[in-house]
Chains A and B, each alone.
Chain A
């Protein structure tokens, strides 16, 4: 406790931390160094680039929305309801987070593809096909991104003292009112963090998307896919596409910095 006065971290810690920073920063330095800045405007205004970017943003936002609508109740059930097999259910619901993305794509393909176990009925009875459509992209992205939101929200709910909710109920609030005005503001940092993680994961999704939804400009060709194809024959373009994705992601992260670091320590104080 006497070191509090100097407040200087020990050298080995500093060294390792510096290594960590270098590990994260140097790849971006390399990318920015090799970027053909003069072609930036030309590439960004190309039709396929804009449609890929617009598609990526639309689909990732839709995936995040679905993840929130379904994920928050799921997180609530996992946090508050004690049922047999809860651990297994939680593991299954978050499995797609640790799976290699292409494995997730394979699973979706064989279940919901046109010849898939469930997909064949969707196709036959309802005329719905998911592969090669934008909805297929949203589905693949939701599948891999939702666990982030579920886990983060569940953790926030667990930390939140239910006695605040009970107090609101005894004062006459309905369950929904109590949730909306007492619980939700308290878990908001966790919810936002989970939402951002889910959105970022959805935006960067590649393996599951290309396996399940395919690749077609305007319908299913997302930014990561366009970047991958560009790298093969037009590496300068791949650099610029990468920069666009980095800028978009960075803007979101910086914009939400306050919420990210803002404490959830005091529930009830929005």
Chain B
């Protein structure tokens, strides 16, 4: 009995000790942490891999979420080197709290689209039809960029759409639609592309649509400022831009 207790005690101490020194970002591997809007999930996954494949081979750790959520995390001290936002408002908040290194630059634009079930069984052709109370429509919450864009879209189109749920980021909206829980969702055109065969998409005409400008910046408290700037330059450079275009983003 005493032996087993001693062993358990050692195990517990060892566990506690290693838990604390688990993640240190300021070590010699030279990796960077990139916080990016949820709609950039697929594109930045590819960008990160391409950046690591470059000579110099720097690891890129990606963290995705609603842009406003990520700003709150960075403000609270989350260890990020680069931030890519889905709108200017979220980025402006970081500039105002002096968390950015230099001026943010727009690296891509996006626009909204309607996500539906595969084959568009409800035959939705435009934003106006989303006002139908029998249709289960979901959008992002107004606090998140895609939610603010959606409100702008409805205002421009002059329709009143009552969403059944206001999700915390655009991928949650896409999930509810692809899993059959909602009939339609307001997402970015890039999310329709990313959903592939699991969903259908309805385009929104340019005169109604919003132009979402995505800014990117290195952060003031980056652990590795030089690599952070290098990543930003990579995203803005020809290789980064062609990757973004292949995922449905448009030129800045």
Check A235–B181 contact: CB distance below 8 A: no
List which A218-247 residues lie within 8 A (CB) of chain B. Answer: 220-221, 228-233, 235
Check A232–B143 contact: CB distance below 8 A: yes
Check B168–A228 contact: CB distance below 8 A: yes
Q: Is A51 an interface residue (CB 8 A)?
A: no
The residue that B143 contacts in the complex, of A109, A115, A216, A229, with Cβ under 8 A, is: A229
Binds A, one of B21-29, B39-47, B63-71, B107-115: B63-71
The 5 closest A-B pairs by CB, nearest first: A214-B165, A115-B180, A232-B68, A132-B164, A233-B143
Q: How far is the CB of B154 from chain A (nearest CB, A)?
A: 16
Find chain B residues with CB under 8 A from A229 CB. 141, 143, 168
How many angstroms from the CA of A132 to the CA of B167 in the assembled complex? 11
Query: Which residues on A are within 8 Å of B, measured CB to CB?
Result: 109, 113-115, 131-132, 210, 213-217, 220-221, 228-233, 235
Query: Which residues on B are within 8 Å of A, measured CB to CB?
Result: 66, 68-69, 71-72, 136, 138, 141, 143-144, 163-168, 176, 179-181
Q: Given A113-B179, A114-B181, A229-B143, does the pair A216, B163 have CB atoms closer than 8 Å?
A: yes
Most-contacted residue by chain B among A115, A132, A220 (CB, 10 A): A132
Find chain B residues with CB under 8 A from A235 CB. 72
How many angstroms from the CA of A220 to the CA of B141 in the assembled complex? 13
The residue that B138 contacts in the complex, of A109, A213, A214, A233, with Cβ under 8 A, is: A214
The residue that A215 contacts in the complex, of B66, B72, B167, B179, with Cβ under 8 A, is: B167
Check A232–B180 contact: CB distance below 8 A: no
Check A113–B180 contact: CB distance below 8 A: yes
Q: How far is the CB of B246 from chain A (nearest CB, A)?
A: 30
Check B168–A210 contact: CB distance below 8 A: yes
How many angstroms from the CA of A228 to the CA of B179 in the assembled complex? 24
Most-contacted residue by chain A among B69, B71, B164, B180 (CB, 10 A): B164
Find chain A residues with CB under 8 A from B181 CB. 109, 113-115, 131
Q: How far is the CB of B119 from chain A (nearest CB, A)?
A: 15
12 A-B pairs besides A109-B179, A114-B136, A210-B168 with CB distance below 8 A are A113-B179, A113-B180, A115-B180, A131-B165, A132-B136, A214-B167, A216-B165, A228-B168, A229-B168, A232-B68, A232-B69, A235-B72
How many angstroms from the CA of A233 to the CA of B66 in the assembled complex? 11
Find chain A residues with CB under 8 A from B136 CB. 114, 132
Q: How far is the CB of B54 from chain A (nearest CB, A)?
A: 34
Check A114–B180 contact: CB distance below 8 A: yes
Closest chain B residue to A211 by CB distance?
A: B172
Find chain A residues with CB under 8 A from B168 CB. 210, 215, 228-229
Find chain B residues with CB under 8 A from A221 CB. 166
How many angstroms from the CA of A113 to the CA of B69 in the assembled complex? 27
How many angstroms from the CA of A228 to the CA of B141 in the assembled complex? 11
What are 11 A-B pairs at a CB distance below 8 A?
A: A113-B179, A132-B165, A210-B168, A214-B138, A214-B166, A214-B167, A215-B165, A216-B163, A221-B166, A232-B66, A232-B143
Find chain B residues with CB under 8 A from A213 CB. 165
Find chain B residues with CB under 8 A from A113 CB. 179-181
Find chain B residues with CB under 8 A from A232 CB. 66, 68-69, 71-72, 143-144
Most-contacted residue by chain A among B66, B69, B72, B165 (CB, 10 A): B165
How many angstroms from the CA of A29 to the CA of B111 in the assembled complex? 44
Check A115–B179 contact: CB distance below 8 A: yes
Find chain B residues with CB under 8 A from A230 CB. 143
How many angstroms from the CA of A79 to the CA of B104 in the assembled complex? 64
Q: How far is the CB of B14 from chain A (nearest CB, A)?
A: 20
The residue that B164 contacts in the complex, of A109, A216, A233, with Cβ under 8 A, is: A216
Check A233–B165 contact: CB distance below 8 A: no
How many angstroms from the CA of A235 to the CA of B141 in the assembled complex? 16
Q: Given A132-B164, A232-B72, does the pair A215, B180 have CB atoms closer than 8 Å?
A: no
How many angstroms from the CA of A113 to the CA of B144 in the assembled complex? 25
How many angstroms from the CA of A214 to the CA of B166 in the assembled complex? 7
Closest chain A residue to B148 by CB distance?
A: A233
Find chain A residues with CB under 8 A from B179 CB. 109, 113, 115
Closest chain A residue to B138 by CB distance?
A: A214
Find chain A residues with CB under 8 A from B166 CB. 214-217, 221
Most-contacted residue by chain A among B143, B166, B181 (CB, 10 A): B181
Closest chain B residue to A213 by CB distance?
A: B165
Q: How far is the CB of A122 from chain B (nearest CB, A)?
A: 13
Check A220–B165 contact: CB distance below 8 A: yes
Closest chain B residue to A114 by CB distance?
A: B181
Find chain B residues with CB under 8 A from A217 CB. 166
Most-contacted residue by chain A among B69, B72, B141, B179 (CB, 10 A): B141
Find chain B residues with CB under 8 A from A210 CB. 168
